Structure 1
Amino acid sequence: MGMPKDIGIIDCMLGIPEAEDRSDWFTAFRPLIKDEQTLQQFSMPAQYMFKDVPQTGHADDYVQWTVEQMDKHGIAKALIGWNENDTSRRAKAMYPDRFAFELPCDPNKGMEEVRRIKRIHAEVGLSAISVFPAGTLPQVAINHKYMFPLYACAVELDIPILLNVGIPGPRIPMETQKVEHLDEVCWFFPDLKIVMRHGAEPWEALAVKLMLKWPNLYYSTSAFAPKHYPKAIIDYANTRGAEKIIYAGYFPMGLSLERIMSDMENVPLKDEVWPKFLRDNAARVFKL
């Protein structure tokens, strides 16, 4: 059958641009960048990895523009980062059924960040929190003690945490995102739902082993064009991991929806896996 139509896709990594100029996307970890090409030429921090970074152009209303792009490609709902600004507030007010929110977090801020998470969750109703370990400043590893207050907070609020794992795209050190670090966290926090982001490469086989081991560990396909989904992940989704693999895109950060969905037609998932991958797993894990 291939990829089903009109399923009402849930995209677990999508963004609303703030403006045509998106150079502020990596302001938080710019001090970690040392190579001149990234600093002088890139409009997004891993631009060397993507052939055609989408150009959003000018829009009078980027919230409405984003929903129009979703409609073109059958995306019923998107998980987006919550920023305490007008764009996020308007997205929630104008399209409450189209957007769910995850909060990017900084483990270096300790209990101040825990209090912020709880405050925003009370105001917004967060579906998840997230951390980019290699992009924290200073860098904080997945299993570092600074992360534990965030993990405990996510368990208390009964929401998942999204973690970038594997070699980071930006030209910054990778040590903090080694997949092996997840083992200790999953052991110590058995009730914590963790969703891996950004591929887990080159340790995708280890990611599969850990998902087999730990019931609350999941994988999302963010930042990968479907033609480049790791074979180990596809094989796992088609066998014992049908409930564990979640669709996430990377629009407009690095991939166009046209590119994602045209590639998606050729992903060799079993017929019964497609609805779980495109919608059902996300709906269950993030309570959408």
Structure 2
Amino acid sequence: MNTDELVAIDVHTHAEVSAKGDHALDNDLYAASSAYFKVEGERKPTLEEMAAYYRERRMAAVVFTVDAESATGTPPVPNEEVAEAAAANPDVLIPFASLDPFRGRTAVKQARRLVSEYGVRGFKFHPSIQGFFPNDRDLAYALYEVIEETGSIALFHTGQTGIGAGVPGGGGIRLKYSNPLYVDDVAADFPQMKIILAHPSFPWQDEALAVATHKPGVHIDLSGWSPKYFPKQLVHYANTLLQDKVLFGSDYPVLTPDRWLADFAKLPLKDEVRPKILRDNAARLLGLVGPDPESRS
């Protein structure tokens, strides 16, 4: 992957349908998510279609499924399928995996195999859907040990979620699990692990900014929101203290990079900061280029 030829690196996209046509969430949760994000149409893109979509835009994309089978009863799009699609499209797709922490030792073994045999670069957690506190030592820490040991990235959903929004009882999904302060414990206990806090973390935006400012290994992605709705303090920190730790993410397919980038262009950001957010920070974090000594502080 030649990062110099890329317009941007999208660090947050979802594989929502398998090659067999199976979906990762049930119909009610999908419908609620589509209504929340005002998504038109019901059809989800395949992994090959995602690769073509990003190649046409001269972008790369981190892609993952969400394994929350213990909580939802619905099997995820297989991690192996995501990784194989990325291997077939190495110019545009970067494979992450997702493992349900409730799988215990099985998840730990799968994490090692996915990194060593499939080239997975990171792992996506969605505490609200998976139903766990990120700082649960008994449940998740053995999995984090593998992630830290292998130099992989842990990406945590934080804040509000459109999944279950509007469904009675929120579909049983509890928002409390996605407070970024729980990830602060993880960052303290695994100081060498690279972490991404996904999304503007409403209603805990200040907490997310505090964690990313305090913990060197913690980054923030900007996915799931149109930039025109970003909290003022998020824009300020992205433009100043956290300019080397903020990452472009769209949340495709529920939010397209086209829409995101159009609104991003209107933000009051310094010219030198824009390429960092759109490409350079992600390229460094993902190991696609060498580290920038000036950004290590």
Q: TM-score range by the shorter chain?
A: 0.7 to 0.9
What is the alpha-carbon distance in structure 2 between the residues aligned to residue 213 and residue 12 of structure 1? Answer: 22
- Counterpart of 1:113 in 2: which secondary structure? helix
- Counterpart of 1:46 in 2: which secondary structure? helix
The 1:214–1:63 alpha-carbon spacing in structure 2 relative to 1, beyond 3 Å, is: closer
Q: Deviations over 1:154-179 (max 9, x none)?
A: 11101110001113332221121112
Residue 24 of structure 1, CA deviation: 2.7
Q: Residue in 2 aligned with 1:80?
A: 63
The 1:54–1:147 alpha-carbon spacing in structure 2 relative to 1, beyond 3 Å, is: farther
Q: Residue in 1 aligned with 2:158?
A: 165
Matches within 5 A, 1:35-54: 39=28, 43-53=30-40
Residue 69 of structure 1, CA deviation: 1.9
The answer to which structure, 1 or 2, has the higher relative contact order (CA under 8 A, 6+ apart) is 1
Unaligned stretches of 5+ in structure 1? 1-5, 28-37
Answer yes or no: is the 8 Å Cα contact 2:125–2:156 preserved in 1: yes
What is the alpha-carbon distance in structure 2 between the residues aligned to residue 153 and residue 277 of structure 1? Answer: 28
Q: Residue in 1 aligned with 2:132?
A: 140
1:67 equivalent in alignment to 2:51 = yes
The 1:232–1:106 alpha-carbon spacing in structure 2 relative to 1, beyond 3 Å, is: same
Q: Residue in 1 aligned with 2:247?
A: 246
The 1:154–1:131 alpha-carbon spacing in structure 2 relative to 1, beyond 3 Å, is: same
- Counterpart of 1:234 in 2: which secondary structure? helix
The 1:22–1:225 alpha-carbon spacing in structure 2 relative to 1, beyond 3 Å, is: farther
1:18 equivalent in alignment to 2:17 = yes
Q: Residue in 2 aligned with 1:152?
A: 145
The 1:179–1:231 alpha-carbon spacing in structure 2 relative to 1, beyond 3 Å, is: same
Residue 7 of structure 1, CA deviation: 5.0
Q: Deviations over 1:66-117 (max 9, x none)?
A: 2332134331x11111653785355234312211111111111112101001
Q: Residue in 1 aligned with 2:109?
A: 115
User: In structure 2, what residue type is equivalent to 1:169?
Assistant: G
What is the alpha-carbon distance in structure 2 between the residues aligned to residue 216 and residue 54 of structure 1? Answer: 38
Residue 198 of structure 1, CA deviation: 2.7
Answer yes or no: is the 8 Å Cα contact 2:181–2:207 preserved in 1: yes
What is the alpha-carbon distance in structure 2 between the residues aligned to residue 249 and residue 173 of structure 1? Answer: 23
Q: Residue in 2 aligned with 1:198?
A: 199
Answer yes or no: is the 8 Å Cα contact 1:160–1:194 preserved in 2: yes
- Counterpart of 2:30 in 1: which secondary structure? coil
User: In structure 2, what residue type is equivalent to 1:74?
Assistant: R
Answer yes or no: is the 8 Å Cα contact 1:107–1:113 preserved in 2: yes
Answer yes or no: is the 8 Å Cα contact 1:134–1:140 preserved in 2: yes
What is the alpha-carbon distance in structure 2 between the residues aligned to residue 11 and residue 239 of structure 1? Answer: 21
Q: Residue in 2 aligned with 1:217?
A: 218
What is the alpha-carbon distance in structure 2 between the residues aligned to residue 255 and residue 11 of structure 1? Answer: 12
Q: Deviations over 1:233-275 (max 9, x none)?
A: 21101111111101111111x1133322322221222111111
What is the alpha-carbon distance in structure 2 between the residues aligned to residue 55 and residue 287 of structure 1? Answer: 35
The 1:265–1:21 alpha-carbon spacing in structure 2 relative to 1, beyond 3 Å, is: farther
Unaligned stretches of 5+ in structure 2? 66-76, 164-169, 289-297
User: In structure 2, what residue type is equivalent to 1:47?
Assistant: S
Q: Residue in 2 aligned with 1:257?
A: 257
Q: 1:95 aligns with which of 89, 92, 95?
A: 89
Q: Residue in 2 aligned with 1:189?
A: 190
Answer yes or no: is the 8 Å Cα contact 1:23–1:44 preserved in 2: no
What is the alpha-carbon distance in structure 1 between the residues aligned to residue 21 and residue 200 of structure 2? Answer: 23
What is the alpha-carbon distance in structure 2 between the residues aligned to residue 190 and residue 112 of structure 1? Answer: 24
User: In structure 2, what residue type is equivalent to 1:165?
Assistant: T
The 1:188–1:93 alpha-carbon spacing in structure 2 relative to 1, beyond 3 Å, is: closer
What is the alpha-carbon distance in structure 1 between the residues aligned to residue 208 and residue 79 of structure 2? Answer: 35
What is the alpha-carbon distance in structure 2 between the residues aligned to residue 85 and residue 216 of structure 1? Answer: 25
- The TM-score normalised by the length of structure 2 is 0.80
- Counterpart of 2:12 in 1: which secondary structure? coil
